[in-house]
Amino acid sequence: MNHPQPTKRKTLTFLAIVLGVFVFVLIVSSSFLSTGAMEGGQANLATTSVDLGTSSPEQVILATDLSLPGIIVSHKKTPESVKAIYMSSWIAGSKTAREKMLKRFENTQINSIVLDIKDTSGKIVIRLNSPVLAKYASEESRVSDITEFVAELHQKGYYVIGHIAVFQDNYLTRIRPDLAMRRKDNNEVWRDKKGMAWLDVSQQEVWDYTVALAGEAYATGFDELNFDYVRFPTDGDLSQIRYRNYDPNKETRIEALQKFFIYLHDHLKAIGAPTSANVFGMVMTNDDDLGIGQVMGNVAPYVDYIAPMIYPSHYPTGWLGFKKPATVPYKVVKISLDSGVKKIEALGFSKNKIRPWLQDFDLGAIYTTAMVKAEQQAVSDAGLSSWMMWDATNKYTLSAYQK
């Protein structure tokens, strides 16, 4: 057998290596161009680091792009008149269930959908890709295809609002009790009458966690970020609550909560996401803070929309002389909004900054089509045009939403 000469062998080997490298480059280049730099179907996550001015060297990472193959993340402009319904994460997580629900609302007034991002259990219920949030292990991913689903909602013409429960949180308080409201007597995690634990309103790491979550959610395509449970607790042994940084002898609940809203505003304005905050319905009519730190003046300046939860069933017996407020939805909503409009305009803001939550569930009364439509009429008669409807079961009174 003839063997090639050493020089010829080296030359052939060198040519083979060059040819192999050339082919490899062609393959990689082709793959990059065809998939948009996606590998294994995973998202290409471009991020912007925002310095939160904390003592920790770690920065909160706000995602600016979260693209999937064939999906371009985009955002819809806020409609002049938002007509929204809430869809639970359990429905949103099932393609069959959510399609059935959306089918019901075709050709109705509804142009916006509210989806959970983080619910009152403390679980983040959508799939995210965040190194900052990963360390908390809060993700449950009930809606694993959230980017695709939000894109689908956009294609159907819906404005998509992300609902974030902030301080009531049974999960993070368990794995990070140092972030929770604690008891004075035994230093255990404090709980309200329902056994729910609360994150400490005064802790900046809780604020940073909320900012990071909001930024990541916006990157998946949510058009607006809606913050809920942004208050102090209402029940339980309140005298036993110990805070890390809040001293009731040195500042009021209103001042303490205002610090959070200022922080949220200042650290989210860079991404340009519209924001809204849920407040008790009686914030519209009361001059005090209801014992929870919420007043119009410490919330409205720092969000785009203030969302009073005007559920007639939640108003106390005898409120303004009404024996059963749940049975007079028009009057409760109209009186509340008339008062709220005066307050918001006195602060120098447009009345359209108010976008109420309304009731479409049976509590205190059986809510009929006429009652739900009466609430909508009250909004209109108060000079407003936007509302969001709440029904935790997602059954809704369909006939109340016909055009």
Average pLDDT value for residue range 131-144: 90
Based on the domain organization, do 291 and 350 belong to the same domain?
A: yes
Based on the domain organization, do 76 and 27 belong to the same domain?
A: no
Based on the domain organization, do 28 and 78 belong to the same domain?
A: no
The pLDDT of residue 58 is 31
Domain membership of residue 51 (yes or no) is no
Whether 17 has a pLDDT exceeding 60, the answer reads no
Regarding predicted confidence, which is higher, 13 or 243? Answer: 243
Least confident of 14-23, 64-73, 241-250: 14-23
Based on the domain organization, do 148 and 11 belong to the same domain?
A: no
Average pLDDT value for residue range 5-11: 41
Domain membership of residue 363 (yes or no) is yes
Based on the domain organization, do 181 and 276 belong to the same domain?
A: yes
Regarding predicted confidence, which is higher, 356 or 11? Answer: 356
Least confident of 17-21, 136-140, 217-221, 271-275: 17-21
End-to-end CA distance of the chain: 89
Domain membership of residue 60 (yes or no) is no
Whether 57 has a pLDDT exceeding 60, the answer reads no
Average pLDDT value for residue range 23-38: 34
The pLDDT of residue 131 is 83
Based on the domain organization, do 131 and 1 belong to the same domain?
A: no
Which band of pLDDT confidence, cut at 50, 70 and 90, is reported for residue 218? very high
Which band of pLDDT confidence, cut at 50, 70 and 90, is reported for residue 69? low
Based on the domain organization, do 202 and 350 belong to the same domain?
A: yes
Residue for token digits 């205002």?
Answer: 258
Domain membership of residue 190 (yes or no) is yes
Q: Tell me: the pLDDT tens digits for 73-112?
A: 899 999 999 999 999 999 999 999 999 999 999 999 999 9
Based on the domain organization, do 187 and 331 belong to the same domain?
A: yes
The pLDDT of residue 130 is 79
For residue 21, what are the domain limits? 1-35
Average pLDDT value for residue range 176-182: 96
Average pLDDT value for residue range 364-380: 98
Domain membership of residue 57 (yes or no) is no
Q: How high is the mean pLDDT of the chain?
A: 86
The total of structural domains in the chain comes to 2
Average pLDDT value for residue range 144-150: 94
The pLDDT of residue 41 is 30
Whether 143 has a pLDDT exceeding 70, the answer reads yes
Domain membership of residue 46 (yes or no) is no
Based on the domain organization, do 278 and 321 belong to the same domain?
A: yes
Based on the domain organization, do 105 and 219 belong to the same domain?
A: yes
Least confident of 32-36, 179-183, 263-267, 282-286: 32-36
Based on the domain organization, do 284 and 150 belong to the same domain?
A: yes
Based on the domain organization, do 31 and 158 belong to the same domain?
A: no
- 341, amino acid identity: V
We report the CATH number of the domain holding residue 208 as 3.20.20.80
Domain membership of residue 49 (yes or no) is no
Regarding predicted confidence, which is higher, 151 or 4? Answer: 151
SS3 string, the chain, reads CCCCCHHHHHHHHHHHHHHHHHHHHHHHHHHHHHHCCCCCCCCEEEEEEECCCCCCCCCEEEEEEEEECCECCCCCCCCCCCEEEEECHHHHCCHHHHHHHHHHCCCECCCEEEEEEECCCCCEEECCCCHHHHCCCCEEEEECCHHHHHHHHHHCCCEEEEEEECCECCCHHHHCHHHECEECCCCCECECCCCCEEECCCCHHHHHHHHHHHHHHHHCCCCEEEEECCCCCCCCCHHHEECCCCCCCCCCHHHHHHHHHHHHHHHHHHHCCCEEEEEEHHHHCCCCCCCCCCCHHHHHHHCCEEEEECCHHHCCCCHHHCCCHHHCHHHHHHHHHHHHHHHHHHCCCCHHHECCEEECCCCCCCCCHHHHHHHHHHHHHCCCCCEEEECCCCCCCHHHHEC
